[in-house]
Structure 1
Amino acid sequence: METIKESHNQKKLLHIAMFPWLAYGHLMPFLQLSKFLAQKGHRISFVSTPKNLHRLPTSSSLSPLIKLIELPMPVVDGLPESAESTSDVPINKVPYLKKAYDKLELPLTRCLEDLEVNWIVIDFASHWLPRVATRLGINSVYFTIFNATTMAFVGPPSEILGGERQQPEDFTVVPKWIDFPNFDVAYKLHEMVTHWECMEEEVSDFQRIAAGIQGCDFVATRTCPEFDADSLSLLNKLYGKPVVPLGLLPPVLTDPDGADESEGDKWRSLREWLDNKKEKSVVYIALGTEVTLSREAMHELARGIEKSGLCFIWVLGNRQFSEGPDMIPVWFETRVGDRGLVWRGWAPQLRVLAHSSIGGFLTHCGWSSVIEALEFGRVLILFSGASSDQGLIARLMHNKQVGLEIPRDDRDGSFSSVAVAESIRRVMVDKEGEPLRANAWAMKEVFGNLDLNNKCLDEFNQFLVTWPASTS
């Protein structure tokens, strides 16, 4: 009988709306989830603003079951006219982006009334959406793109809303509800001070998270039990409702040796350079699309990279090199010669990380970037971008011994070129870094295991099709 019931549930098809936060790092996991659910036969309405939808990589042709729905970006005083995502604004302008996102409540409500969806997948910022969903008789799932350890550190809604942590300093210690042995994951002060800048005064990020968790039917998190078992178990207790691991959503290279049209010329140039380097000899350096270091910090990082003496590819995103040509020392590229390649603008990161010449990744610790690196077993040199959950990820990966965090001053985030060089060499070539390299390589069995990740997604799908329908 159970088999017949499961078979019946698998055939139950749903209409699911997606409403991610206005950031590429949120849009992509929501799109990956949409593609999986469409493969199960569900209809997906993916809702965002025009510029964000146009950013999505749809060249591989989305399933006809996925419909992209545009909502015009609201006008907010203080927000640049063409800004629609975090990549369009400096961190101190992000609060205005949150105000604009909140103004989407009415148009989204009207949209949902017309769509007649069964479920809506909500993100952290839309604190008002669970209330709207309940009124319209729509089930809601809170999808956090963070891992379970990050969410456990943030804590239960009661602590988020009325707990003792009210200032940046309060987040620099392990919270009392986490009692795992040898757990040493907390923010550095400079990271929380930076994050405070991007919070909207009227509704803080913590209030947004709490409202989403409290108002949804269940929570889904971008992790898997094989990596995050203790934190997943704790979250179920903290929230008092189901917490479902979605898997790590590792991106897939359909043709590892090729490239699509958008990647073509860029990848050919990079691959030609990498093909001439020894296996696992190159450090890939990329600080994400939104991290902005001061000129002084960029120069210190450059000096450290040079002092390491190792081969590298350093990707400077548009935001980093748009600050001016002197963001890296004028002598840098001449002095490093052929052992280093400075790449300006977008790079096909997944293809670079998959190349056999790449041994390690100096990363800003964005969760998507870490997943991509460990999917191919690349050891990590951890340099927190000091935004969102990146500091927590740096500590977590350091503690899991799949990488090494570059030492920095807790209060201002400063660091030395010597520390950078020593960290790179230890991780990449020194004997004492062998355990780190071995552990990172072994992580391929979790982060690159599509069967394991698809199992999590299948279980998530079962939650959707078996959950009782909401009533308005």
Structure 2
Amino acid sequence: MDSKKQLHIVMFPWLAYGHIMPFLQVSKFLAQKGHHIYYISTPKNISSLPKLPPHLCSNITFIPFPLPQVHGLPPGAESTSELPIHKVPYLKKAYDKLETQLTEFLKRSSQVKWIVHDFAPYWLPSVANQLGINLVFFSILCASSIAYFGPPSELLGGCRQRPEDFTVTPVWMDYPNNLAFKLHEMVSHQECMDSVSDFERAGTLLLSCNILTLRSCFEVESDALRVLSKLHQKPIVPLGLLPPSLPSDEDKGDGNWEALKKWLDSKQAKSVFYVALGSEVSMSQEFMQELAFGIEKSGLSFIWVVRNRPSVEGHLVQDIVPPGFEERVSDRGLVLRGWAPQLRVLAHSSIGGFLTHCGWSSVIEALGFGVPLILFPVGSSDLGLVARLMHGKKMGLEIERNDLDGSFTSDLVAESIKRVMVDPQGSQLRANAYAMKEIFGNVELSNKYLDEFTRSMEEFPPSNDDV
């Protein structure tokens, strides 16, 4: 690439695995197109990233910024997965203190003309403005969620002030949809808010960015993307769905895959459901046990990946699987503690359903293999909105829960699992999900969107300094 045309781009994700990986995926694409990427995060997060392919090493530079210590943040914690939800505000305070290091780096790196950033660094516009740098807000959320949150004026002090205000579909969503939070979802999300709310952070950045990009496509969310254009009056450039690649057989990172594959190979096609509630989901012991009993009552084969979350003191909490559960289901169920090769599992022909916490990445992975969804949004962020979106599009079925406190019954869990997996009433849903492989798993389609995104930066009107 002509060095004059080569862009120098900073990537600056939030400190959560579900943000760090999509930012890396986009970095690799931009680097492949000949642009130079400075990928900035903390040392521990950078060290956990997969190795770069040799041909990209010269175009991606990892810049580790030590995370400043703040009172209340457990020593050594550098990502949300290492914290209970009520400690996340301290991580946001520490992240905000990266402003000094980032400003110094940008002053030294005069070639940087773009920063691709996340929802959190609300202080970034003034830094970029002083240095004549353009901003791309890369949201890892789906278009429907961002549209639901509304224009900057709404995020920065609009009419929705109480959790109850978020339980109705907003007026600007001008097409048939069911997008709204349940009351218990909004209440739990407030636990991870800092004194600067997530709404204020995102609103400030949406107001100032030159381009808004997001993990979506017109084939899935054309109405929401249209609403976003109307709300923000600036370029909205979807990135595509960024379907992840299956690890190659030579990849030895999945230590437990051989035994798992052998177990799956012994099962009939589409007879097993997979349960994984993400790396950062925290549920009460009571809810986990009710979920376990529902899984058991379904009578179907399953794999359940269980992660014990850190407690208040940072130690792991007691085991959340009910006593005796594993013995009772040993003939048809596997409980895996810690981590599982999720992509490999979802790609296996024995998997016929996915009981998910509704993280957008997990939904994309499942539908990329045509696996229907048993929707169980637990945790903060936009998980409830994703559940409603997928339920409304009939690609999954949401497990019914009490709107006020989130409670549910094991019978409803079992019923929902069976509907998605085997019941005749679920046949249309299974067919819809299978058909989605053509969109969610389509790398070529995603690359077309990434090409368009790359061009939007390459051809962006130059600032006065560049003319």
After TM superposition, the score normalised by the length of structure 1 is 0.95
What secondary structure, in the 3-state scheme, does the structure 2 residue paired with 1:72 have?
coil
Aligned length: 459
Query: What corresponds to 1:76 in structure 2?
Result: 70
What secondary structure, in the 3-state scheme, does the structure 2 residue paired with 1:414 have?
coil
Tell me how far apart the structure 2 counterparts of residues 10 and 45 of structure 1 sit (CA, whole Å). Answer: 16
State yes or no: 1:103 paired with 2:97: yes
Query: What corresponds to 2:136 in structure 1?
Result: 141
Query: What corresponds to 1:200 in structure 2?
Result: 194
Q: State the percentage of identical aligned residues.
A: 61
Tell me how far apart the structure 2 counterparts of residues 60 and 412 of structure 1 sit (CA, whole Å). Answer: 47
What secondary structure, in the 3-state scheme, does the structure 1 residue paired with 2:160 have?
coil
State yes or no: 1:272 paired with 2:262: yes
Gaps in structure 1 of 5+ consecutive residues? 1-7
Tell me how far apart the structure 2 counterparts of residues 412 and 406 of structure 1 sit (CA, whole Å). Answer: 14
Shift of 1:471: 4.7
Tell me how far apart the structure 1 counterparts of residues 232 and 305 of structure 2 sit (CA, whole Å). Answer: 40
Tell me how far apart the structure 2 counterparts of residues 11 and 428 of structure 1 sit (CA, whole Å). Answer: 55
- Aligned pair partner of 2:119 in 117, 124, 130: 124
Query: What corresponds to 1:5 in structure 2?
Result: none
1:284-321 deviation digits (Å, cap 9, x = unpaired): 00001110111111111111001000000000124289
Query: What corresponds to 1:307 in structure 2?
Result: 297
Tell me how far apart the structure 1 counterparts of residues 186 and 105 of structure 2 sit (CA, whole Å). Answer: 36
Question: Cα distance 1:450–1:242, how it changes in 2: closer, same or farther (>3 A)?
Answer: same
Query: What corresponds to 2:306 in structure 1?
Result: 316
Query: What corresponds to 2:209 in structure 1?
Result: 216
Tell me how far apart the structure 1 counterparts of residues 132 and 463 of structure 2 sit (CA, whole Å). Answer: 5
My pick for the range that moved more, 52-61 or 153-162, is 52-61
What secondary structure, in the 3-state scheme, does the structure 1 residue paired with 2:330 have?
helix
Determine if contact 1:146/1:367 at 8 Å carries over to the other structure. yes
Tell me how far apart the structure 2 counterparts of residues 9 and 386 of structure 1 sit (CA, whole Å). Answer: 46
Question: Cα distance 1:11–1:426, how it changes in 2: closer, same or farther (>3 A)?
Answer: farther
- Aligned pair partner of 1:351 in 333, 341, 344: 344
Shift of 1:59: 6.4
State yes or no: 1:416 paired with 2:406: no
1:212-232 deviation digits (Å, cap 9, x = unpaired): 111111100110010010110
What secondary structure, in the 3-state scheme, does the structure 2 residue paired with 1:118 have?
strand
Tell me how far apart the structure 2 counterparts of residues 127 and 303 of structure 1 sit (CA, whole Å). Answer: 44
Tell me how far apart the structure 2 counterparts of residues 295 and 386 of structure 1 sit (CA, whole Å). Answer: 14
Determine if contact 1:172/1:188 at 8 Å carries over to the other structure. yes
- Aligned pair partner of 1:338 in 331, 334, 342: 331
- Aligned pair partner of 1:247 in 219, 232, 240: 240
Shift of 1:338: 2.1
Q: Which runs of 4+ in 1 moved over 4 A?
A: 8-11, 59-62
Tell me how far apart the structure 1 counterparts of residues 4 and 216 of structure 2 sit (CA, whole Å). Answer: 26
Shift of 1:369: 0.4
Shift of 1:9: 9.8
Determine if contact 1:9/1:465 at 8 Å carries over to the other structure. no
Determine if contact 1:224/1:247 at 8 Å carries over to the other structure. yes
What secondary structure, in the 3-state scheme, does the structure 2 residue paired with 1:177 have?
coil
Gaps in structure 2 of 5+ consecutive residues? none
1:110-168 deviation digits (Å, cap 9, x = unpaired): 01111221211011001111221111111111101111100000000011113110111
State yes or no: 1:370 paired with 2:360: no
Tell me how far apart the structure 2 counterparts of residues 471 and 315 of structure 1 sit (CA, whole Å). Answer: 53
Tell me how far apart the structure 2 counterparts of residues 97 and 173 of structure 1 sit (CA, whole Å). Answer: 31
Letter in 1 for 2:84: P
1:152-185 deviation digits (Å, cap 9, x = unpaired): 000000111131101111111001111212x111
Determine if contact 1:362/1:383 at 8 Å carries over to the other structure. yes
- Aligned pair partner of 1:236 in 218, 229, 233: 229
Tell me how far apart the structure 1 counterparts of residues 164 and 107 of structure 2 sit (CA, whole Å). Answer: 44
Tell me how far apart the structure 1 counterparts of residues 109 and 43 of structure 2 sit (CA, whole Å). Answer: 18
What secondary structure, in the 3-state scheme, does the structure 2 residue paired with 1:232 have?
helix
CA RMSD across the alignment: 1.6
Counting only pairs closer than 5 Å after superposition, residues 362-441 of structure 1 correspond to structure 2 as 362-441=355-434
Tell me how far apart the structure 2 counterparts of residues 357 and 382 of structure 1 sit (CA, whole Å). Answer: 19
1:12-47 deviation digits (Å, cap 9, x = unpaired): 211110000010010000000000001101000000
Query: What corresponds to 2:445 in structure 1?
Result: 452
Letter in 2 for 1:260: D
Determine if contact 1:289/1:318 at 8 Å carries over to the other structure. no
Question: Cα distance 1:455–1:10, how it changes in 2: closer, same or farther (>3 A)?
Answer: farther
My pick for the range that moved more, 410-419 or 158-167, is 158-167
What secondary structure, in the 3-state scheme, does the structure 1 residue paired with 2:378 have?
coil
Tell me how far apart the structure 1 counterparts of residues 250 and 163 of structure 2 sit (CA, whole Å). Answer: 44
Query: What corresponds to 2:22 in structure 1?
Result: 29
State yes or no: 1:261 paired with 2:252: yes
Tell me how far apart the structure 1 counterparts of residues 345 and 360 of structure 2 sit (CA, whole Å). Answer: 17
